[in-house]
Structure 1
Amino acid sequence: MTANADILQPAFVLHCQHYRETSLILQVLTRDAGRVALLAKGVRKARSKTAALLQPFLPLQLSYQGKAELKNLTHVESLPPFGVLQGLPLYCGFYANELLGRFLHPYDPHPEVFSAYQQCLVRLATGGDMHIALRLFELELLEHSGYGLDFAYTAGSGLAIEADKRYVFQAGRGLVADPLGPISGATLQALEVRDFSQAQVVAEAKLLMRIVIDSYLQGRPLKSRAVIQQIINGP
């Protein structure tokens, strides 16, 4: 989507970098235009209050225009915040941002992903289970960006997933039965309906999502994941 202008588009800043002496280049996730690159001119001037709004995880409405890939930011409005990310949830938020940068193409709208991202941030900011918040977001991101898994049937054979069997993810195929597989059929059936009420489902879903995401990233590491792991494990 490369329209000349968007007015008051619901958005979140994913990443920002300094540009020249007083400007910023932003990567933002918008509801209706997808991932967009914006040039925010002059926002780092001493009297400007705009830079304080252009922070990750703050709900915003942005207006921008331009024919080039890099659009010009023209207006910023803040929306009521849903909480503050701090500590480990903050780095979980950066992990979600990094995934969006890897899996979404620029100007490819995915309103469902925008909604899933917003819900993920709300869960992280309001004390929800971080693991469940991230797994729900990962599942929706993969589903709507074209990498979703079929949790009802095995790849190739078309046989229904059975609760008492084990399964493994094979890149390029999907989920296949394997007596030594790390994921139970019961977990896959729970993921089909997004049921995380059992501890086993939460643990196996984390393992499965890591395997699936790593296969699509083809060896490219996620910086945020390494930081989270370091925080959890300690020095």
Structure 2
Amino acid sequence: MKSDNSYLGYVLHRRPYRETSYLVDFFTLELGCIRAVARGVKNSKSDKKSLLQPFQPLTASFAGKGELQSLRKVESAGPTLMLVGKPMFCAMYLNELVTRLLPTGMASDSVFHAYQSALQSLLTGDDIEWVLRQFEFCLFDELGVLPDFSTDAQSGLPINEQCNYVLIPELGFTEYHSGMSKLQPFPGRMLMALANGETDVQTKKVAKVLVRLLLAPLIGNKPLKSRELFS
């Protein structure tokens, strides 16, 4: 049971800071992403150091008023999720997405719970590709960039399963015409399948292409390091 001044969360990343400390990025339910200094733990064998690992649910308390906080206390909130192989690489990808895309201090119940659910699904061996898509869509939705899969953004009409559509940034899907030959077309029936939560092979392929299009302007020219692990 967490106390009133502690926050439920996970370590996204840690790195050495000065001689004896770590700089730690946390993802918390109540505060969103927060960066804190864990002082004096780098060369110790303390419980605090052992808890500052990814995929370990914990509660933590912080001190300070600026962007860089000081870690006061950290306690376990459950067993470490023992992810290995591809599930571990996928979980590292989730961590990088949160770190790169979610603004510091932006708390989101939906993204936090989607993150927890994704970690559990990776641990139990669920459909990895769809686990990633569900989390990505949740994060995009929170950031306001997830398009409506069921409505033509320009006409306001329902997506027609017999037509093709293209994704216009900051607008949504609109019906494809000949002047859009440089844009990626999406079959209307595939968009409706996504809207209905279908998970067949073809729908998942379309979802993967769509995620890449949505991610491109968000990550810019700095590629995701976690993707390199898959190669």
With the length of structure 2 as denominator, give the TM-score of the two structures. Answer: 0.90
Match among 183, 188, 191 for residue 185 of structure 1: 188
Residue in 1 that maps onto 2:163: 165
Match among 98, 103, 106 for residue 104 of structure 2: 106
Worse-matched range after superposition: 170-179 or 152-161:
170-179
Task: Give the unaligned 5+ runs of structure 1.
Answer: 1-5, 231-235
Aligned 8 A contact 1:94 1:224 in 2? yes
Question: Considering only aligned residues, what root-mean-square deviation do their CA atoms show, in Å?
Answer: 1.9
1:90-129 to structure 2, matched below 5 A, reads 90-129=88-127
Q: Give the CA deviation at 1:92.
A: 0.8
User: Aligned pair in 2 of structure 1 residues 21, 103: CA closer, same or farther (>3 Å)?
Assistant: same
Q: Give the CA deviation at 1:139.
A: 0.3
Q: Give the CA deviation at 1:59.
A: 0.9
Using the aligned pairs only, state the percent identity.
Answer: 37
Residue in 2 that maps onto 1:67: 65
* CA distance in structure 2 between the partners assigned to 1:224 and 1:21 by the alignment: 27
Residue in 2 that maps onto 1:224: 226
Aligned 8 A contact 2:55 2:81 in 1? no
Q: How many residues align?
A: 224
> Which amino acid counterpart does residue 221 of structure 1 have in structure 2?
P
Q: Give the CA deviation at 1:98.
A: 1.2
Residue in 2 that maps onto 1:194: 197
Aligned 8 A contact 1:162 1:186 in 2? yes
> Which amino acid counterpart does residue 87 of structure 1 have in structure 2?
G
User: Aligned pair in 2 of structure 1 residues 215, 46: CA closer, same or farther (>3 Å)?
Assistant: closer
Q: Give the CA deviation at 1:137.
A: 0.1
> Which amino acid counterpart does residue 52 of structure 1 have in structure 2?
S
* CA distance in structure 1 between the partners assigned to 2:22 and 2:111 by the alignment: 25
With the length of structure 1 as denominator, give the TM-score of the two structures. Answer: 0.88
Residue in 2 that maps onto 1:155: 153
Aligned 8 A contact 1:149 1:174 in 2? yes
Q: Which runs of 4+ in 1 moved over 6 A?
A: none
Worse-matched range after superposition: 78-87 or 103-112:
78-87
Task: Give the unaligned 5+ runs of structure 2.
Answer: none
Secondary structure of the residue aligned to 1:73 is: strand
Cα deviation, 1:110-169, whole Å, max 9, x if unaligned, reads 111101111111111110111000000000000012222111212222121122322222
Q: Give the CA deviation at 1:100.
A: 0.9
Aligned 8 A contact 2:55 2:80 in 1? no
> Which amino acid counterpart does residue 56 of structure 1 have in structure 2?
P
